[in-house]
Every structure is written in C-alpha cells, then in structure tokens.
Amino acid sequence: MQEGIIVTTQKELQNLISETLDNKIKELKLELQSKPTDLLPRKEVAKILNVSEGTLYNWAKKGYLTPVSIGRRVYYNRSDINEALIKLSYKN
C-alpha cells in the first residue's frame, strides 16, 4: 500500500484533532473508573494521562488536581482526575 499526501483544510484538521482527543478522554475516563482503588499513585496517574510527573505538579499548582500526601508519597483521587479531565478538555 502506497501512502501519499492528504490535502485537508485547517478546520477539518482541527475537527479531526478535537474528535481524537475527545475519544481519548472518554477512554481514559473508562479506564480510571474501572480501577478498584480511589487513590492512585503519582506515577500511575502520569502514565494513564500520558504526561510527566512535572505536568501533574503544574496542574496541582493551577488547581486542576489536588494531590494527597501520605508520608512522602503522593496520590491523586480518582474523582479529582475525572474532574480534571473535564476541565482540561473544555478549557480550549
């Protein structure tokens, strides 16, 4: 199969990206809801959201997420993650 260049308008590209992101957010929400625990460790949340731990820290500073510290470990509430996904998806 030979691949070539696809010509598209800026609006079509924006719609495609938006649709793809919406689908990914829905998948992440379902994945988060299927986990048995309410608190998730920072590394797992970063992996699920496909962001760095530094991004999680920045989101916490901006109020998108509220970390829960237990000793020296940092966790995030599943419900906070779901709310953050909604906030971040409709911010743009």
> Quick check: is 47 in a domain?
yes
Asked whether residue 74 is assigned to any structural domain, the reply reads yes
Does residue 77 contact residue 60 with C-beta atoms inside 8 Å? Answer: no
Tens digit of each residue's pLDDT (9 = 90 or more) over 38-85 = 889 999 999 888 889 999 999 889 888 889 888 889 999 888 887 777
Tokens of 13: 């590209």
In the chain, the number of structural domains is 1
| Top-confidence residue, 32 or 51 | 51
Percent of the chain that is helix, strand, coil (3-state, to 5):
60, 15, 25
Residue 20: pLDDT over 70? yes
Residue 4 resides in a domain? no
List the CATH number of the domain containing 63.
1.10.10
What residue numbers bound the domain in which 68 lies? Answer: 10-89
- 23 part of a folded domain: yes
